[in-house]
A and B are shown apart, each in its own frame.
Chain A
């Protein structure tokens, strides 16, 4: 069965960068893609963008364009999401999700989430 396992919690200072990983198993990695979604404390789900694991094509929400980079490594079946120039309002749980291009871009499997805390 499909599993997405994310890296552990991170604490960063403002201005730093963070890179979160999402290791996939249980399916053909390059058949779909990954989306990243975050949830700030007390807030709802916020879509950040997606990447195709087949060809590396990306699509970022305008809010994150230029500050976020999504990537994949097909040799390890792992997706990555890097956020640069961190601010306190980037404190959130970051989720990866498989985006199923064959089924209306549905986010059908999710990782367990990675807490990123930005604090001086």
Chain B
């Protein structure tokens, strides 16, 4: 199974800050990497698919990049509605594993 190691597990930031979250895949996952935002009591929301592509309707302050087996989600100019938990996921090979999640909290 491909393991997704996500860091940090949590971070505190202020509105307007730029934050980054990283996932390291245990083996090659090509660009079959997705990023989701999840708020308590809500359905997860797809932000990024195919490692880099912004899902329709997602603000452009969300972006992603890849370096080898490291994948990074960046949120520029944090907004109040961005405080949530973020997960990476690989869909390159089954089981389609998720990272452990990163909770983004208000400082």
Contacts and interface: CB of A to CB of B under 8 A. Distances in A.
Nearest to A98: B46
A37 to B, nearest CB: 8
Contacts of B32: 104-105
Give the secondary structure class of A's interface. Answer: strand
Interface residues of A, number: 24
B22 interface: no
Interface in A83-120: 95, 97, 103-113
Interface string B58-101: 00000000000000000000000000010101010011111111
B50 A47 contact: no
Give the secondary structure class of B's interface. Answer: loop
Contacts, number: 65
Contacts of A11: none
B94 A45 contact: no
A50 B89 CA distance: 15
Q: A46, A49, A104, A113 — which one has the most chain B CB atoms within 10 A of its CB?
A: A104
B96 A105 contact: yes
